[in-house]
């Protein structure tokens, strides 16, 4: 009798727990699918719109009815985007490494949004090169990437934030799965870790003002950032600036082996469907309850994010097995 009662109690607890989990999932999906209204009255500023994620996002937001303000690095990028969209999308030339350029874009944006404020700021502009072994880098190699991916994001956000605060809108920062797992040397991983940290700090500091801060963590996608030709060109440049002693420690064949591994990785896991990333960006701008983090791509969900929760020694071993071994390694 006692055993039967214990069994019944266990079944009841399991049933109650199952119902609670089911209700939680249903409520989460319901909240996750709620969208804002009056999209036609909202302005969104996007950086890095010449190509890739930024270019596609602007076209999709334009179709949704947003008043899109696109920051492009080049006149050609701006002209191409305007030809592909409607009259509600406007462009400006923006170099996020230039304080003067940011200030000029800010004054232009103030005139465009008026008293409504800025609903969304999407910090998408970025660069990846040079990437390679840390020992091959010079300070200027780190700085060239950090200026765009880290300082550019921070300066854009701090300058445009009063407009976002007025609209009780969103700041959407594009980080990377390499802001979770430092898989190579150079400024890219460092800058993306910084974007993650800056976004977390900002979100916690302003949570009482009704402004949401969202982080997009794309996996590997086929964009200019992952194009093999410039990656290999930069690797050759880095190799050629090394001293004979450093080259000798790696061995004559190390560069070729390193490039072959880069080709294998990019050709194997790079996804051509950029909409997987822009879908996340759109949700961050349209959802009533946007998520704090968005992981885009199968490799992000199945490889990089799980790997980021592993002990550091596991990640070290995994990368050691993948990368070529130097000639004079211990």
pLDDT at residue 330, as a whole number: 61
pLDDT at residue 19, as a whole number: 85
Kindly tell me if the per-residue pLDDT of 4 is higher than 60.
no
The stretch 220-237 carries a mean pLDDT of 93
Task: Report which of 125, 236, 240 is spatially closest to residue 173, judged by C-alpha positions.
Answer: 125
Task: Say whether both 28 and 119 belong to one domain.
Answer: no
**Per-residue pLDDT band at 66 (split at 50, 70, 90):** very high
Q: Is residue 327 part of a domain?
A: no
**Per-residue pLDDT band at 7 (split at 50, 70, 90):** low
pLDDT at residue 2, as a whole number: 53
Q: What is the mean pLDDT of the chain?
A: 94
Task: Say whether both 50 and 12 belong to one domain.
Answer: no
**Per-residue pLDDT band at 18 (split at 50, 70, 90):** confident
Kindly tell me if the per-residue pLDDT of 157 is higher than 90.
yes
Task: Say whether both 203 and 140 belong to one domain.
Answer: yes
| Dihedral angle over CA of 58, 62, 68, 74, nearest 10 | 40
Question: 84-133 pLDDT, tens per residue?
Answer: 998 889 999 999 999 999 999 999 999 999 999 999 999 999 999 999 99
Question: 286-296 pLDDT, tens per residue?
Answer: 999 999 999 99
Task: Say whether both 23 and 48 belong to one domain.
Answer: no
Task: Say whether both 14 and 75 belong to one domain.
Answer: no
Q: Is residue 330 part of a domain?
A: no
Task: Say whether both 11 and 82 belong to one domain.
Answer: no
Residue numbers annotated as active site: 188
- Which DSSP string do the residues of 105-125 spell out, in sequence order? HHHHHHHHHGGG--SEEEE--
Question: 168-206 pLDDT, tens per residue?
Answer: 999 999 999 999 999 999 999 999 999 999 999 999 999
Q: How far apart, in Å, are the Cα atoms of 125 and each of 50, 154, 167, 251?
A: 9, 12, 23, 36
Q: What number of helices (H) and strands (E) belong to the chain?
A: 14, 9
Task: Say whether both 110 and 74 belong to one domain.
Answer: yes
Question: With the C-alpha atoms ordered 53, 55, 58, 61, is the resulting torsion angle positive or negative?
Answer: negative
Q: Is residue 89 part of a domain?
A: yes
Helix (H, G, I), strand (E, B) or coil at 91: strand
Question: 141-155 pLDDT, tens per residue?
Answer: 999 999 999 999 999
pLDDT at residue 16, as a whole number: 82
pTM above 0.95, yes or no: no
9 vs 35, higher pLDDT: 35
How much of the chain exceeds pLDDT 70, in percent? 97
The stretch 245-265 carries a mean pLDDT of 95
| C-alpha triplet 264, 48, 169: angle, nearest 5° | 120
Q: How many domains does the chain have?
A: 2
Euclidean distance between CA atoms 70 and 146, whole angstroms: 22
Kindly tell me if the per-residue pLDDT of 79 is higher than 90.
yes
pLDDT at residue 245, as a whole number: 96
What domain range is 18 assigned to?
1-33
Kindly tell me if the per-residue pLDDT of 31 is higher than 80.
yes
Task: Say whether both 103 and 5 belong to one domain.
Answer: no
Kindly tell me if the per-residue pLDDT of 328 is higher than 80.
no
Euclidean distance between CA atoms 78 and 69, whole angstroms: 11
Kindly tell me if the per-residue pLDDT of 303 is higher than 90.
yes
Task: Report which of 134, 128, 123 is spatially closest to residue 266, judged by C-alpha positions.
Answer: 128
Task: Say whether both 11 and 108 belong to one domain.
Answer: no
């Amino acid at each position: 009798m006692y055993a039967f009662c214990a069994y019944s109690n266990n079944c009841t607890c399991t049933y109650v727990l199952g119902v609670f989990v089911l209700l939680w999932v249903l409520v989460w999906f319901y909240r996750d699918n709620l969208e804002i209204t009056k999209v036609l009255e909202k302005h969104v500023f996007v950086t890095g719109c010449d190509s890739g994620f930024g270019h596609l996002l602007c076209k999709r937001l334009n179709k949704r009815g947003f008043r899109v303000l696109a920051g492009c690095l080049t006149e050609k990028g701006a002209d191409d985007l305007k030809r592909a969209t409607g009259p509600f999308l406007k462009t400006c030339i923006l170099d996020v490494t230039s304080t003067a350029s940011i200030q000029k874009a800010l004054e232009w944006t103030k005139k465009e949004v008026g008293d409504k404020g800025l609903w969304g700021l999407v910090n998408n502009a970025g660069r990846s090169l040079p990437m390679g072994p840390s020992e091959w880098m010079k300070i200027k190699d780190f700085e060239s990437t950090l200026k765009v991916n880290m300082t550019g994001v921070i300066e854009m956000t701090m300058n445009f934030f009063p407009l976002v605060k007025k609209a009780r809108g969103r700041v959407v920062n594009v980080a990377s799965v390499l802001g979770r797992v430092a898989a190579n040397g150079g400024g890219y991983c460092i800058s993306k870790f910084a974007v993650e940290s800056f976004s977390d700090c900002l979100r916690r500091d302003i949570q009482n003002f009704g402004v949401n801060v969202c982080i997009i963590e794309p996996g590997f996608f086929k964009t200019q950032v992952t194009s093999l030709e410039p990656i290999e060109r930069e690797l050759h440049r880095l190799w050629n600036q090394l001293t004979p002693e450093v080259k000798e420690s790696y061995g004559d064949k190390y560069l070729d082996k390193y490039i072959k591994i880069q080709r294998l990785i990019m050709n194997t896991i790079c996804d051509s469907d950029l909409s997987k990333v822009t879908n996340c960006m759109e949700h961050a701008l349209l959802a009533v309850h946007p998520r704090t983090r968005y992981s885009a791509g199968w490799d992000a969900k199945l490889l990089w994010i799980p790997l980021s929760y592993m002990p550091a020694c596991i990640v070290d071993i995994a990368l050691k097995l993948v990368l070529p071994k130097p000639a004079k390694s211990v």
